[in-house]
Amino acid sequence: MADAGTPGGGRLAVALMLAAMALPAQAQAQALPTVAAAQHAVSGQVRVVGGSVDPAMLDVRLNGEPVTVDGSGRIAGAVVRAERYQLRVAGAAVFPATYDFAGAEVAGADGGIVLPPVEAVARAPGRVELFFGGDAMIGRRFETPIWGEPVRVRQATRAADMAALLAPMRPYFESSDLASVNLETVLATATPGDAPDKSVVFFTHSDAAGALASAGIDFVTLGNNHVYDFLEPGLGSTVAALDTAGLRWSGAGANESEALRAARIALGGSRFAMLGYVGWQGRVEPNQVAGPDKGGAAFGTDASIAESVRREVAAGWAPIVQYHGSTEYSARPTEISERRMKRAIDEGAALVVAHHPHVPQGFELYRGRLIAYSLGNFLFDQYFPETHGSIALKVWMDGDRLFRAEIVPLQILDYRPVPALGGVRQAMLRRIVALSAERATPIALVGGHGVIVPEGSAAAAGCAQPYGAGLIENRFPISGAPGQCSRAAEVARGRDLLMRGDFEAVRFDDAVDRSWATTGATLAFEPVGRSGGVALVLRPSGTDAASVAPKSYFRPAGAGRYSFAGWIKSAAPARVEALVQFHPSGSARFEALETAPWQSVGAAEIGGGDWQFFRFDFTAEERLPLRPMLRLSGATDATLDDVAFIAWDESDGAPGDWSHGE
């Protein structure tokens, strides 16, 4: 074992575990090819909720191919094997439903495709479907990427490129009666003049308004801390672009009265008043909120929220509140934000949806009405790994009353929203189930989505699955295949910061995971997984050591105890070494990524041929951002799968997913 280094004065304590294990035959069978010519049997179950609908009348398709549904809702058919499956349920009597699965999530033991039970919501008089996405912008790194990454929005094809970014999620919202996102940027055809002295300002070309509208977005909230980034000219060009595209909006205005005005929208016989607020004024001058003679976002104080909600209720409209506040990257809302959101419900709001933390928080049924404390990002260019897991929210309302809410786990992949699969889905489900349970709001699991109903239902229960060398992972069963499910570990004290180390969610159409960096090697994602369909293959480009690491740091978590673990298969005997790089206090992030030293936390010799488990444990005394690296010496190809970077005893209070086993 190599000596530990000293990051910024703190010392590392390290430990190492390594075990060799042959790949079981069943796991080999699940190493799915991306596409195979043969047809494979499909089985599943669809149920209609909220009305009497004959399932046999539904149009059900898997990857675009029709499958049969009988009167009891049993799905049967055959499709070509694929890396990913999309199930679509439609029919005149139901709201269209969409579910996505990784091939490994629905692989049956007999080689068939076993879909989990899914549900579609019946149409009913006065019932409407609403869709909410979190923070959205399409500027900055979409046009000027970092790390040599591909340009996603090009000047010559800007409108089409922007539309393509929304394509993966379009099946989830295009048929909603009202689809909304938080537009956290100024819109203009060119930089609209001077900006306040803020550390970060956002500017997106006005074509984004048309791209959102053509994709099926109907409404945007402007009650956020970036709508006034370019003062009055920027606010004016933003509103003009939205009006031209036919997008409804609220949450900002040329003065306080206009900013607090609701967008009144009639849907299916119901009358909704859309209100948006930002939760703080900002420290720069001029600040970000509207005043009597100044433009900006609607300032969501206790008094302004209460007054504007009461006004809409008195006028016969059901208020839907979107609130932008709380602390960035936090697991729970601040006391002030929670108080204001509940005040909105107290005054008569039908629903409250929040954002700004850039990561999901929990849900609460408060007085029979739903509060979503943070959705996280929707369409955003942040490269921080913790922001790449997110959620969207679908809500069915019967008038001003909640019928059902569905939580769709998302991954921000290649800076765009796609349905979360594999480990990212698991991480998002674990997070929202645990955080919502703290508020006595159970979340059930249907087709890999979370479901909340006003009367409550049995909360989703995880399964304790041995991971290797004494580690236990808490996972939710997605497949409908029968099997053993041990009771979830009662003591779960760790969280996998990596989320995507099973590599089942590394691509979605032309979106590819850009979060990994290599030195002395190239990498590819190939259908050679240990326990699923996809793995990371590292191919050395010379005789020197080859390495792979996340491109950016993880935010500091917990008391500084970590485990870097996973499975590796080498074509020949090799030396595997784990290292960690810290972001020293006071240094710039990009400079630190380039120049901060790597500290070894352990090394081991592995044989060639079989899958082998590795685990490197270390303790960092200082609470600094950090990232792990795996270095391979021996000039041999290596395949990695089911990799985790676990933070133990997290002090930020985020719920744990992992535990130590015996």
State residue 109's pLDDT score. Answer: 79
Q: Is 112 contained in some domain?
A: yes
- 549 with 593, same domain: the answer is yes
CATH of the domain at 612: 2.60.120.260
């001003």: which residue's tokens? 400
Q: Alpha carbon of 458 to those of 181, 370, 444, 461: distances in Å?
A: 30, 17, 6, 9
Give yes or no for a contact between 11 and 621, defined as CB atoms under 8 angstroms apart.
yes
State residue 35's pLDDT score. Answer: 43
Residue 240: burial class (beta carbons within 10 Å; 0-12, 13-18, 19+): middle
Q: Is 484 contained in some domain?
A: no
- Look at residues 74, 99, 121 and tell me which one is the last residue of a structural domain: 121
Buried b (16+ CB within 10 A) or exposed e, 543-579: eebbbbbbbbbbbbbbebbbbbbbbbbbeeebebbbb
- 87 with 231, same domain: the answer is no
Q: Is 7 contained in some domain?
A: no
* Distance from C-alpha of 502 to C-alpha of 3, rounded to nearest angstrom: 30
CATH of the domain at 93: 2.60.40.10
CATH of the domain at 349: 3.60.21.10
- 159 with 281, same domain: the answer is yes
- 96 with 147, same domain: the answer is no
State residue 1's pLDDT score. Answer: 33
- Look at residues 121, 151, 181 and tell me which one is the last residue of a structural domain: 121
State residue 31's pLDDT score. Answer: 38
State residue 481's pLDDT score. Answer: 60
Q: Is 259 contained in some domain?
A: yes
Q: Is 548 contained in some domain?
A: yes
The encoded tokens of residue 385 equal 């790994």
List per-block mean pLDDT (blocks of 10 residues) for the chain, which spans 662 residues. Answer: 36 53 34 57 97 97 97 96 96 98 90 95 97 97 91 94 96 97 97 87 96 97 97 97 98 98 95 98 95 97 98 98 96 97 98 97 98 98 94 98 98 96 95 95 96 90 83 85 59 83 93 93 93 92 91 82 94 94 93 96 92 93 91 90 88 70 47
State residue 558's pLDDT score. Answer: 61
- 164 with 245, same domain: the answer is yes
- 17 with 78, same domain: the answer is no
Q: Is 241 contained in some domain?
A: yes
- Look at residues 460, 478, 510 and tell me which one is the last residue of a structural domain: 460
- 395 with 503, same domain: the answer is no
Query: Per the confidence metrics, is the pTM higher than 0.85?
Result: yes
State residue 360's pLDDT score. Answer: 97
* Distance from C-alpha of 557 to C-alpha of 648, rounded to nearest angstrom: 8
The encoded tokens of residue 606 equal 């592995």
The whole domain housing 106 covers: 34-121
Q: Around 212, how many Cα atoms within 13 Å sit in the side-chain half-sphere?
A: 33
**118-121 and 35-49 strand pairing:** parallel
* Distance from C-alpha of 535 to C-alpha of 544, rounded to nearest angstrom: 23
Q: Is 584 contained in some domain?
A: yes
Largest CA distance in the chain: 75
**Total domains, the chain:** 3
Give yes or no for a contact between 46 and 118, defined as CB atoms under 8 angstroms apart.
yes
Q: Is 218 contained in some domain?
A: yes
The encoded tokens of residue 327 equal 């602390």
- 522 with 456, same domain: the answer is no
- 110 with 143, same domain: the answer is no
- 530 with 453, same domain: the answer is no
- 451 with 507, same domain: the answer is no
- 101 with 236, same domain: the answer is no
> Which residues share a beta bridge with 638?
538, 570
